[in-house]
Structure 1
Amino acid sequence: MVDLRLLQALRVLHAQGTVTATARALNLSPSAVSQQLRQLSQAVGATLLVRDGRRLRLTPAGRVLLRHADGLFAQWERIRADLADEEGNQHTTLRIGGFATAFGALLAPAASALHRAAPPLRVRVTETDTGACYQQLLSGRIDIAVLTPLPDSPPVDDPRFDQQPLMDDQQDLVVPLDHPLAGLDVVDLPQAAAETWIAPHHDQHRLIESLCGAAGFAPRTDHHAGDWSSVLALIAHGLGVCLVPRLVPLTAHPGVTRVPVRGDPPPCRRVLTCVRSGSRQQPVIARALTALQEQAVIAHRLDRTRP
């Protein structure tokens, strides 16, 4: 018999690449992770890993075991769902991770609704970026991720995860109130090709570069800011423009305005919910996903009242 914890160490190592990173993800010591990997190799009677520089690489036998491990963990999550249905177990803590701009419209109101529901559900919410969301799901640190996928994110058919669309977050060009584009009902993105751009946090900056590249130009960025409040402050003082998602409120910055960008469909970022494969039907996870879907519907209605 193989302990699932040993298989989990192999799965996380494959995602992280090093024993040190795996230990950090699993909240273990590096020596404990190394010991688990040795025990797993002995249990299956095969060499699973070989050293490749500073990293460990799966052998052919390791890849076979990893493929079966993903299916075993998905089945284990389904077993947990069946047990919870049988026992009516609703008393647990649910952990949700998501990106910062999802908090105001999605994560915070959904968590509040679950706290007030009958029976109440205790929810812990953590701000985290897309890459970390997948790793924290895999290591069991969170149960649901709300994320925007990136080009290097796991594909939608990755057997470790169950990823489903939640909403599309439209991108508007945000400019100062006295900007020549401010009075337009809609703008074509190439009209901002000669503008100075504000570079926001890494994930959004990559999206902007991709959208502008598809429109035929590379944005000239003179300023960089890590949070949206700083980005909007720079725009308000006439230092540049930026594509800003509709989930980002502008109420604290009266010196800026949104101009919708033309497109069919308009430029947007896809927002997903992501859980471990097999866990979507667990009662507490299903309740939280429903709450997030309800908030997404509300956010979409609000979008239709924006410019």
Structure 2
Amino acid sequence: MIDLRRLHVLRAVEHYGTVTAAARALHLTTSAASQQVRQLARELGVVLLEPQGRGVRLTSAARSLITHADAIQARWDQAELDLRADHDDPAGLLRVAGFPIAVSVLIAPMAARLRERHPRLSVRIQEAVVPESFDLLFEGGADLAVVEATSRNPPVSDARFDQQPLLDDPFDLVVPDTHRLAGRERTDLAEAAREEWIAPSADNPCRLQVLSACGAAGFTPDIVHQAWDWNVTAHLVAHGLGVALIPRLAHLTPHLPITRVRCTGDPHRKLLTCTRAGGHERPAVAAALAELRELAPTAVA
């Protein structure tokens, strides 16, 4: 009979990419994680890991096994839901993760509404960047996450997760109040092609989206400054150091001498809700998703 704990270690190796990273996430030593996988391979009589350079990679047998393991995990999660669900009123602990803007604009008001409407439900919020949110869901450390859609996310077809569109967050062109485009209600992004630009830093998931929006307008931006935080970007704009594309959900420091100008074509990023497979059926998660869907349209108005 397969030891499900060993199967979980193999799933973690696939998710995190290396035995070392999987061991760290599972609070094991690397040797202990390797031993778990080797023992699983002996029990099944197949090779699960094979050498690749200085590391290892999963064999085709391992990937086939993981497909079944994901299905087993989903059925186990469903069994827990069936046993623990209170179909009359959401109750218990709900753990929610999200990147900073999502927490501020969507998750915090969602939690406040849930506390008022469902007093038996306790919400715990964790700020997390997008990759960390998927890790938390995989590990069981979060029940629901609000994430940005990026090329680094697991594909929508990934059977471990249920990813659903929540809202489109438009990018506005942000310029100093004295800028020639500040009086426009809407502008073609190409009109800012010759400007100096402030762009998201390389590790910010919005960087690619900003570059893609400029590319779609027919130019490559002249990036002179980079920042992760949108308020840092706004202060750089306020001092006349360049222009920037900033998501409308980003609440900027008030009274800065800057103007948001809407862009023709409405370049935007997509926000998603994500649960483990079948997790949206849990009453607490379903209640949270309903609140998020109600909050989303007004958040970007």
Smaller-chain TM-score bracket: over 0.9
Q: Which residue of 1 aligns with 2:228?
A: 226
Report Cα offsets for 1:133-191 as digits up to 9, x if no partner: 22221122222111111123222111111000111111110111111000011111111
Q: Which residue of 2 aligns with 1:157?
A: 157
Distance 1:234 1:203, change over 3 A: same
Q: Which residue of 1 aligns with 2:242?
A: 240
Report Cα offsets for 1:100-135 as digits up to 9, x if no partner: 111221011112222333333222222222222222
Q: Which residue of 2 aligns with 1:40?
A: 40
Contact kept? 1:232, 1:253, Cα under 8 Å: no
Specify the SS of the correspondent of 1:180: coil
Alignment of 1:253-292 (within 5 A): 253-263=255-265, 266-292=266-292
Contact kept? 1:233, 1:253, Cα under 8 Å: no
Specify the SS of the correspondent of 2:170: strand
Q: Could you tell me how far 1:242 is from its partner in structure 2? A: 0.8
Question: Take 2:255 and 2:126, find their aligned partners in 1: how far apart are those partners?
Answer: 26
Distance 1:58 1:88, change over 3 A: farther
Specify the SS of the correspondent of 1:254: coil
Does 2:134 correspond to 1:141?
no
Q: Which residue of 2 aligns with 1:27?
A: 27
Aligned residues: 299
Question: Take 1:157 and 1:4, find their aligned partners in 2: how far apart are those partners?
Answer: 24
Does 2:121 correspond to 1:129?
no
Q: Could you tell me how far 1:86 is from its partner in structure 2? A: 6.4
Does 2:205 correspond to 1:209?
no
Contact kept? 1:105, 1:296, Cα under 8 Å: no
My pick for the range that moved more, 180-189 or 131-140, is 131-140
**TM-score scaled by length of structure 1:** 0.91
The amino acid of 2:97's aligned partner reads G
The amino acid of 1:183's aligned partner reads G
Distance 1:11 1:236, change over 3 A: same
Contact kept? 2:175, 2:260, Cα under 8 Å: yes
Q: Could you tell me how far 1:91 is from its partner in structure 2? A: 4.7
Question: Take 1:88 and 1:11, find their aligned partners in 2: how far apart are those partners?
Answer: 35
Q: Which residue of 2 aligns with 1:184?
A: 184
Q: Could you tell me how far 1:12 is from its partner in structure 2? A: 1.6
Contact kept? 1:76, 1:278, Cα under 8 Å: no
Question: Take 1:118 and 1:99, find their aligned partners in 2: how far apart are those partners?
Answer: 25
Question: Take 1:77 and 1:89, find their aligned partners in 2: how far apart are those partners?
Answer: 19
Contact kept? 1:25, 1:136, Cα under 8 Å: no
Distance 1:186 1:135, change over 3 A: same
Alignment of 1:156-175 (within 5 A): 156-175=156-175
Q: Which residue of 1 aligns with 2:200?
A: 200
My pick for the range that moved more, 232-241 or 92-101, is 92-101
The amino acid of 2:159's aligned partner reads P
Specify the SS of the correspondent of 1:163: strand
Question: Take 1:163 and 1:229, find their aligned partners in 2: how far apart are those partners?
Answer: 29
Distance 1:129 1:56, change over 3 A: same
Specify the SS of the correspondent of 2:275: strand
Contact kept? 2:230, 2:252, Cα under 8 Å: no
Question: Take 1:90 and 1:39, find their aligned partners in 2: how far apart are those partners?
Answer: 41
Q: Could you tell me how far 1:44 is from its partner in structure 2? A: 2.2
Question: Take 2:82 and 2:155, find their aligned partners in 1: how far apart are those partners?
Answer: 27
Distance 1:21 1:47, change over 3 A: same
Q: Which residue of 2 aligns with 1:66?
A: 66
**TM-score scaled by length of structure 2:** 0.92
Question: Take 1:72 and 1:223, find their aligned partners in 2: how far apart are those partners?
Answer: 48
Contact kept? 1:250, 1:256, Cα under 8 Å: no
Question: Take 2:283 and 2:40, find their aligned partners in 1: how far apart are those partners?
Answer: 32
The amino acid of 1:168's aligned partner reads D
The amino acid of 1:79's aligned partner reads A
